[in-house]
Amino acid sequence: MHSPDLVLALLADARLPVGAHTQSGGLEPAMTHGGLTSAGVPGFLAGRIATVVAVEAGTAVVARHRALAGLDPAPVVAAWAARTPSAPLREASEHLGRGYLRLAQRLWPGAAELAALGRRPPRPLVLGVVAALAGLDAARLVRLCGHEDVATVGAAALKLDPLDPAETVAWTLAAHPRIEALAAALAHLTDPDDIPAPSAPLVEHHSVLHARTRQRLFHA
């Protein structure tokens, strides 16, 4: 039995070898196609927490509930896909999901909940099932989703527009109240229909442009 706190620390570690280093949390597309600079990253993060992270975290929370209840994960995937209209963003999430699934199958070999996810599960679906297997509560799962997104953007910023690493730590701390508010708003979700459905048209548009860009550091 793996400690929930140990699993939480493991999943929040940027060194986890699941392919997260190939992602920029939408930062590279925003810089390349939207003219975003480092000065605008705190606002960019606030927008992601209210939109992209809300969808991902809500999906993970509902996936956790259904895994604990022994329910079919398919409706969660359908709800997530409907709220993620960008094909490149869905592909990026599935790429990460495969990495998380491979890791989870090493930690919980033979778990029926993991076998039910298929070959290309999106990342929040796998995180939700992992939370169920590890005994991770819903609020901490939301915090994990929020922290991972902010940390991904911060790590990418150091490669795209070199700056003082302490600045990215400040971004993380500044984002904390928004993540806590998200945890309070989403931790009770159980129905796929109740997953938030905010719109992030610029993130989606930039992701499509980025997918056609030949020279890039990150997949998305």
Q: What φ, ψ does residue 102 adopt, rounded to 5°?
A: -60, -45
In the chain, what percentage of residues exceed pLDDT 90?
Answer: 72
Q: Which region among 17-21, 25-29, 194-198 has the lowest average model confidence (pLDDT)?
A: 17-21
pLDDT surpassing 80 at residue 2: no
The predicted model scores a pTM of: 0.93
124-140 per-position pLDDT tens digit? 999 999 999 999 999 99
pLDDT, tens digit, 9 for 90 and up, residues 172-181: 999 999 999 9
Structure tokens at 48: 């992601």
Radius of gyration of the chain (CA): 16
Residue 172 is predicted with a pLDDT of: 92
Contact between 80 and 211 (Cβ < 8 Å) = no
CATH architecture for the domain at 4-13+20-211: Orthogonal Bundle (1.10)
Band the pLDDT of 6: cuts 50, 70, 90: confident
Residue 14 is predicted with a pLDDT of 67
Which of the 8 DSSP states describes residue 204? H
Length, in residues, of the chain: 220
Distance CA 94, CA 183 (A): 24
pLDDT at 110: 86
CA distance to 1, 117, 133, 183, per residue, from 137 (Å): 16, 20, 10, 11
pLDDT in tens, 81-108: 999 999 999 999 999 999 999 989 988 9
Instruction: For tokens 């459905």, name the residue.
Output: 197
3-state class (DSSP) for residue 25: coil
Helix (H, G, I), strand (E, B) or coil at 200: coil
| Contact between residue 141 and residue 53 where contact means Cβ atoms under 8 Å apart | no
CA dist., res. 147 & res. 65, Å (int): 21
Question: Angle CA(188)–CA(104)–CA(107) in degrees, nearest 5?
Answer: 115
In 73-164, where does DSSP find H-type helix? 74-82, 87-107, 112-115, 123-134, 138-160
- By C-alpha distance, which of 136, 143, 101, 146 is closest to 121? 101
User: With 0-12 CB in 10 A as exposed, 13-18 as middle and 19+ as buried, what is 201?
Assistant: exposed
